Amino acid sequence: MPKVLDGAAIAAAIKQEVAEEVKLLAAKGIRPGLAAVLVGHDPASEIYVRNKVQTCADLGLFSELITPPGTVTTEEMFDLVAGLNDRDDTDGILIQLPLPAQVDAKALLDAVSPAKDVDGFHPVNAGRLQAGRSALAPCTPAGIIEILKRSGIPIAGQHAVVVGRSDTVGKPAALLLLHQNATVTICHSKTRDLPAITRQADILVAAIGRPGFITAEMVKPGATIIDVGINRITSRDEFERFFAGNAKREATFAKRGSTIVGDVHPKAFELAGAYTPVPGGVGLLTIAMLMANTVRAAKMRRGL
């Protein structure tokens, strides 16, 4: 039977470590702080940001939720970010995406001070990560490395194949794996004979944003599969394609009218040596790594 990599347990361990670091910093008169900026009223974003703010409180970090109206302009957001860049009680700035169409999201993210860019999206942090220098890394890719290390999965010398080339997950995940001495291949929608490449992977990272895209014939027996995808399915046909005969999922689907599937078809996990489930895997690491990045930013800003 393949080993299930427990994202909940690993996230809990990281949060406990963050809480201990926060106590040590408190003894020096330092309280790391995170400012979360949520524009407008997107229900999914509101839940996600509320969870982040609550986690800050649970771990002893200072947090502030800033909620500009959905009509806010790019210029007004620039002013807001400039103020947060200057505040000494704010170590991390989180701008929840997506932003309204009238706001230039890319320019706004670039306006965040790299020292406070706890999402790791700023070009300065991306460049430092590429160069192998100390940087605030994007939370989900950093979580992937933590899952592998804390689960005892060897990385050095392994062939890691990353399916997906986004700036937020695919590219930084590939770089972090490379820095851990894996041999890395990046694949994407234009890759020819993709299954032939994914079948070479000792570590297969699926981050392409397509439900069940990685199928059993694309997996090398015994490989470690890291499924980054979170895709909500609502149609009965899709449900049957992924979860036919799964009584637990059937109950969830009947109750909610939807369920979650990753970028890996559930049948593909049967070939794996180890894998991250969806839900219960990589997604749970994102907030934990955000907390860790906030504490790290607080220490880096003070030369600790």
Secondary structure (DSSP) of 125-186? HHHHHHTT-S----HHHHHHHHHHHHTT---TT-EEEEE---TTTHHHHHHHHHHTT-EEEE
Tokens 């694309």 identify what position?
Answer: 218
Residue 76 or residue 48, greater confidence: 76
What's the pLDDT at 41? Answer: 86
CATH 3.40.50.720 residue ranges for the chain? 139-285
Q: How far is CA 68 from CA 16, 76, 157, in A?
A: 32, 9, 48
- 267 catalytic residue (yes or no): no
Catalytic residue among 6, 91, 96, 158: 96
- Residue 165 neighbours by CB distance under 10 Å: 18
Mean pLDDT across the chain? 96
Fill in the amino acid letter for 107.
A
52 labelled catalytic:
yes
Give the confidence band of 45 by pLDDT, cuts at 50, 70, 90.
confident
Domain 30-114 superfamily per CATH: Leucine Dehydrogenase, chain A, domain 1 (3.40.50.10860)
Residues of the chain with CATH 3.40.50.10860: 30-114
63 pLDDT exceeds 90?
yes
Fold observed for domain 139-285: Rossmann fold (3.40.50)
Catalytic residue among 6, 117, 119, 227: 119
